A and B are shown apart, each in its own frame.
Chain A
Amino acid sequence: MQQILTYCKRGCNVMYTSVRTGAWVVGLLGALVAVTLVSATIGPVAIGVRSVADIALAALLGGATEAPESHRTIVVSIRLPRIVLGAVVGFALAAAGTVMQGFFRNPMADPSIVGVSAGAATGAVAVIVAPIALPVALPVAAFVGALIAAFGVYALASEGGRTPVGTLLLAGVAVQTFLGAVVSFMLVSAGRDLREAIYWLMGHLQHSTWTEAGVAAAVVVPGFLGLLVYARDLNVLLLGEEDAGSLGIEVERSKRLLLAVSSLLTAAAVAVAGVIGFVGLVVPHIMRLLVGPDHRILLPTSALAGAAFLVATDTVARAGPAELPVGIVTAAVGAPFFLYLLRKREVRTP
């Protein structure tokens, strides 16, 4: 009898897992939609939630709306692109952060740990401060810089077909430090462009366009699906590489793929929004607390929570009389909350 009960419990648990994943995903999607609607009402021109919903539905499905033309323009061409871009960036950063923390088995890992942000900053600041106009757009330079830095770190840390995680971490820190020096040097000699460069570095979402949002989403969505396919490998990798190998995971190949795709996601996010800290570090910790360490649940929930979080913080950033770079708000909100969790011992340091 006891055994039958236990078996039932097991079976239920398996079903429970997928139901739970579904419930979390639906809940977080709801939260994201709610945050989006509320965010779109806020700004110099106050527009009611109902009008916003009306306008959004009309824009999505086609059809008429009673809202004034000016409101429609504000919502569809100014606020929504920014919100969607924020959602995509938050989604990408939180997903990449989740993967990096698992990959490095290190709670301090964030999406930029292999030098992605430092590389993007180098590319972006170079374009901003260059005395002559370079023939590349700023986001492209940032994107390329990010990928070069990540690949460089990977190559530096690899030897004989293996890439020890510890070496990767140290190489990442060293490269970040070096590129930090390069960026500082460029800032010192920036002159009139200093303000724009600083602004970019702090992370920002203003003047977002549908094009930016679309391009970012085109990179982020397929990349995320790729990561999701490897979620089970990531779980097994948490047991340690040798164990993972003995369970049939092609360790080096999985590591390469996870690293490449999460770097790509981060690069896409940083290229369009600058260096936005803390989303990729804190959101995965909070979600791990709520849903557990299984990446098949953690990865989608973290990504959605990151999206909602960034949309919310960006709303705060632009709600005041003077707009703040969103990176300041994420850090200012995220760090104290994280410290609170840390003090309560809710976040464990492995």
Chain B
Amino acid sequence: MTAAIDVDGVSVALAGVTVLDSVSTSVDEGQFVGLVGPNGAGKTTLLRTITGALAPDRGTVHVAGEDVAALGSRATSRLVASVPQSTALAFEFPVSHVVAMGRTPHIGRFGTRTAADREAVDAAMERAAVTDLADRPVTEVSGGERQRVFLARALAQDTPVLLLDEPTSDLDVNHQVRTLDIVSDLVAEGRTVVAAIHDLDLAARYCDELRLLYDGRIQASGPPASVLTDATVEAAFGARARVVEHPVTGSMSVTAFGSDGATADGRVHVVAGGGAATPLLHHLDAAGFECSVGAVSADDPDAETARAIDADLVTVPPYAPVDDEARAAVVDRLRRADAVVVADVTVAAGNRPVLDAVHEADVPVVVVDGRPIDARNLAGAAGRRLDARLRTRGRVVDDDPAAVVAAVRRVVGGGAGDADTDPDSRTAEADPRP
């Protein structure tokens, strides 16, 4: 199979700053390739070298086997159409006229539009769902509608290769998906698409392959699952992130936690169950804590999460209560832990041994203040008592993963209250007296 796009050793410096540093990649015919990477990584620049709008300082770009640098704009415009990221339109052309401009490469200087041109324009408007806007001035449609107008223009251009620069950035959730569905259909029909997409989840869901671009180079390349990993996302975006399989779409889903620069250090045991601890586990892991979890049922969503973050997991068979063996395993984890977090779990006969063990263990406890005890207590008065004891013994924190992580940091750091500065002393400092 020939490569539809072949980028070979392309380097570009803009205003003296190297944006692309000998980038090489190729895109096979009929593929949908997503270009991902942080802002300013050079995604747009790379797309511009493919359209020929930007001549690379070094390296070559071939589209359909033709060297773009050697082709004129007209020949290139019959091979590559692009949907720009933003467009400044000062003049009030009707939408249908803007879409019809997509036919420019196919009409000679002295030629006029043929029936075939008109059909292509109508079909493109239909496909991008802008037919209803045809007579509206393009300056008066919304930003999202305008993006679809420019998609229609690119469709009217009828080229084998389509480049999209953030095609969904101004679209609502519904139109994001609809636009990418249209693009997927085009790919299914044999067109080659390269799209810069900042939404990693959408990129993973729709693209056949991804190229991760940062520091002027393509750092990872291949199917979404291989390109998007905790490590690559963290390296590229400088944010702690968790990449998991999305339960609905089955594609990779990325959650970033931001980076405060501090990597926590310590072991945290989490009493989980019923999925109550899933966000918290990701946050603790992202913050750098080493986690142990349990005991939970082997098929519990929290067990799934624990496996995903490589936590030290204590399980019991589905529907089985915590037996002595499991309890011993939990006690062992508690002994080695620097803190224990009791998530918003149901209190039942099955997991009482775990909660008892927590109560007896010599370790700081953080209790997540979630549902009221009566809403999650299946163990009667004993369950209520146990909950009250844990609350007295531990630090009670709102049911917000970030707040829990902060509380864990404080107890693990040992200096409870360190971070809270005495307001009075602050006032005194702010009042300089000679």
Contacts and interface: CB of A to CB of B under 8 A. Distances in A.
B74 A250 contact: yes
A239 B98 contact: yes
A247 B102 contact: yes
A247 B88 contact: no
Interface string B55-92: 00000000000000000111111101110100111111
B103 to A, nearest CB: 9
A173 B38 CA distance: 40
Given A246-B51, A246-B53, A235 B84 contact: no
A10 B118 contact: yes
A14 B104 CA distance: 16
B96 A249 contact: no
Given A14-B113, A236-B101, A248 B90 contact: no
Given A11-B118, A238-B90, A239-B87, A248 B74 contact: yes
Contacts of B433: none
B237 interface: no
B110 interface: yes
Interface in A193-251: 229, 232, 235-236, 238-240, 242-243, 245-251
A350 interface: yes
B121 to A, nearest CB: 8
Contacts of B92: 292-293, 348
A70 interface: no
Contact of B91 (A7, A246, A350): A350
Nearest to B90: A350
Interface string A92-119: 0000000000100100000000000000
B264 to A, nearest CB: 47
B84 A242 contact: yes
A348 B137 CA distance: 13
A323 interface: no
A295 B104 CA distance: 15
Contacts of B87: 239-240, 243
A294 B96 CA distance: 12
B395 interface: no
Interface residues of A, number: 32
Nearest to B98: A239
A249 B73 contact: yes
B93 interface: yes
Most buried by A among B72, B78, B91: B91
Interface residues of B, number: 42
Contacts of A102: 91
Given A229-B110, A240-B88, A250 B101 contact: no
Interface in B293-326: none
B91 A238 contact: yes
Interface string A1-21: 001001101110110000000
A242 B104 contact: no
A292 B97 CA distance: 11
B134 interface: yes
B78 A239 contact: no
A235 B96 contact: no
Given A247-B101, A350-B90, A14 B74 contact: no
A239 B76 contact: no
A109 B52 CA distance: 30
A247 B102 CA distance: 6
B90 A247 contact: no
A99 to B, nearest CB: 13
Contacts of A236: 101, 104
Contacts of B72: 250
A8 to B, nearest CB: 11
Contact of B73 (A6, A248, A348): A248
B157 A247 contact: yes
Contacts of B376: none
B48 A242 contact: yes
Nearest to B107: A232
B93 to A, nearest CB: 6
22 contacts: A6-B122, A6-B134, A9-B134, A13-B96, A13-B135, A235-B97, A235-B101, A236-B101, A240-B84, A242-B48, A242-B84, A245-B52, A246-B81, A247-B104, A247-B105, A248-B74, A248-B77, A292-B92, A292-B93, A293-B91, A293-B93, A350-B91
Given A6-B122, A247-B102, A247-B157, 12 more contacts: A3-B126, A10-B96, A11-B118, A13-B96, A229-B109, A229-B110, A232-B109, A242-B48, A246-B53, A248-B78, A293-B91, A350-B90
